[in-house]
Structure 1
Amino acid sequence: MWKVLLVEDETFVRESVKEIIQWEDMGFTLTGEASNGEEALEMIRKQQPDLVLCDIVMPKMDGLELLKETRRAGIASKFVMLTCMGDFESMRKAMEFGASNYILKLSMSVKDLRETLAKISAELSSSTSKPAAMSAAEETAERITHPEVKKIILYIDEHYDEEITLASLSRHVMMGENYVSALFKKKTGETLIHYLHRIRIEKAIELLLTSDLPVNQIGQNVGFMNDNYFIKIFKRITGTTPSQYRNAK
C-alpha cells in the first residue's frame, strides 16, 4: 500500500476527500492528515509518505511552500495539489516546483481522483523498479528547461564535495553573479545556497545509511569542512542530527 498524507485546512473538504473513494482499492492507505503546512511538514519528515494530497491555500505555510520545503529536505514524496478554479498561477508554480498533478476542489469527482491515483501509483511503481532512485539533482534538471540553470544543477551534482561558490558557478556559465543568483531562484524556487545544502545533505544521508563512516568524515566527504556547520545544516533540513538520523533508520 502506498502511504498518503492529506493536507487541507477545511474540515469539510478533508472529510469529503477521505470518503469519496475506497482508497485501499486503489492501493493507497491514508496514514495521516494535517490542517496546515507547518503541521504537515513535521509529519512528512517523520512518515515520508509516498503521496501528499495538499491544498495550495492554507494558513501558516501554504501548499507551494510545503512542496518546496519537502524537496529541500531531500524527500521525494509525490504531490497532488488541491486548488480552486481560476488559480492558474499557483497551479503553474506547483507544476514547476515538481507537483505531479492538480485537482480542482469544487468539481472534484470520483473519476478525477481515481484517474489521478492510478497515474501516481504507476509513477511510484516505475520509480521503485529502477535499480537506483533518481537523485534530487537529476529530478530538478529533468524539469528545468533553462540551459544555464540545468548546467549549474548538473555541475553541483558532480562537484558537491568540492568548494563551490557563487563566483565559481557564475564563471562556469559565463554570467554575472547577481544575474545567476536571481535566475536560479526564479527557475527553481530556491536559492543557490539552499539548493547546494540540500544536495550535500542528500549525499550525506546516503553515506549515513550505507557506510560506517563517522559523522565528521561524512560531512567532509560531502563538502562541509566544518563539523558543527554540517550538523547545523543537516538538522535544519531533516529535523534531526546526523547521528539521530542514522540511529532512527
Structure 2
Amino acid sequence: MKSALIADDHPVVRAAVKILLKQEGFKRIHEASSGNEVLPMVREQKPNLVVLDLVMPSLDGLDVLTRIQTGGVACRVLVFTSQEAMFYQDRCMRAGASAFVSKTNDLEHLHKAVHAVMAGYSYFVQLPSASVALSALQRSEKQMIDTLSDRELTIFQHLARGINNKAIAEVLHLSHKTVSTYKTRLIEKLNVDSSVHLRDFAKRNHLI
C-alpha cells in the first residue's frame, strides 16, 4: 500500500497535493505543517514518498532533507516549492532529493515527478546555461550565492524579509550572537555595504 507524507505549512497546498496523490494511488497520506514534525513522522509512518516544501516553520526544508538522508531513513523525497530552482535545485539534489518541482508550474509537472520518482527515476528541470541566460551581473551574483552554505542562504532570506536577529535565532534554534556572526559574514560574502542592501540583493535574484 503506497503511503506519502506532505510537508507544507499551507493547508490549501497540502489539500491540493493530497488530491493529486490519491489520483496516483496513494492510500495512506500523512501531513506535517512544520519542519520539526517531518523526521519523527517519517520514522513512525515510513512513507514511500515525502513531498517537501523548503520554507516551513521550526526547521527549513533543506535541513529536513539533510536529516532524512543522514538519518538512514529509506524514503524518496520530492521537493515542491516556490523557491528559485536556479539556487535551490542543485542543493536539494546534493542533499538527496529525487525531484524538484516549482509551485509556479502547472500541477501536471507534479504528476510527472511523482510518476518518475515512484518508478525509481529522478525529476529535475533543465536550468538555463549561465553563459546564455544570465547577464554579467546576474552571473556574478549567482556565483556569490552559490558559495553560501545552506544555513547561510536560509539566514540571508530571513534577513532579506526584514526578520530581526532575535526572531531568526528563535526560529532556527541558534543564539543571537551566532545569527549576528552569520549576518556579518553574509555582508562580506555578498559584497554589500550593509544589511539594508541584502533585501535588494535578494529581490534582484528572486530569493524573496
In structure 2, the gaps of 5 or more residues are 122-146, 151-208
Q: Which residue of 2 aligns with 1:107?
A: 105
Question: How many residue pairs get matched?
Answer: 123
The answer to whether the 8 Å contact 2:78/2:114 transfers is no
Question: TM-score with structure 1 length normalisation?
Answer: 0.45
Question: TM-score with structure 2 length normalisation?
Answer: 0.54
- Percent identity, aligned pairs only, is 32
Task: After TM superposition, list the pairs within 5 Å mapping 1:141-156 onto structure 2.
Answer: none
Following superposition, which runs of at least 4 residues in structure 1 exceed 6 angstroms of deviation? none
Q: Which residue of 1 aligns with 2:75?
A: 77
The answer to whether the 8 Å contact 1:85/1:106 transfers is no
Per the alignment, do residues 106 and 47 of structure 1 end up closer, same or farther by CA in structure 2, a change over 3 Å counting?
A: same
Secondary structure of the structure 2 residue equivalent to 1:99: coil
Alpha-carbon distance in 2 for matches of 1:71, 1:12: 27
The answer to whether the 8 Å contact 2:49/2:77 transfers is yes
The alpha-carbon deviation at position 114 of structure 1 amounts to 1.8
The alpha-carbon deviation at position 122 of structure 1 amounts to 0.9
The reply on whether 1:89 has 2:87 as its aligned counterpart is yes
The answer to whether the 8 Å contact 2:18/2:29 transfers is no
In structure 1, the gaps of 5 or more residues are 125-185, 190-249
The alpha-carbon deviation at position 25 of structure 1 amounts to 4.3
Greater percentage in helix: 1
Per the alignment, do residues 29 and 108 of structure 1 end up closer, same or farther by CA in structure 2, a change over 3 Å counting?
A: farther
Secondary structure of the structure 2 residue equivalent to 1:89: helix
CA deviation profile, 1:192-232 (whole Å, cap 9, x unmatched): xxxxxxxxxxxxxxxxxxxxxxxxxxxxxxxxxxxxxxxxx
The alpha-carbon deviation at position 85 of structure 1 amounts to 5.3
Task: After TM superposition, list the pairs within 5 Å mapping 1:226-245 onto structure 2.
Answer: none
Alpha-carbon distance in 2 for matches of 1:85, 1:37: 16
The alpha-carbon deviation at position 78 of structure 1 amounts to 0.5
CA RMSD of aligned residues (A): 2.1
Alpha-carbon distance in 2 for matches of 1:66, 1:16: 22
Q: Which residue of 1 aligns with 2:5?
A: 5
Secondary structure of the structure 2 residue equivalent to 1:28: coil
Letter in 1 for 2:116: K
Q: Which residue of 2 aligns with 1:117?
A: 114
Bigger radius of gyration, 1 or 2?
1
The alpha-carbon deviation at position 90 of structure 1 amounts to 2.0
The alpha-carbon deviation at position 30 of structure 1 amounts to 4.0
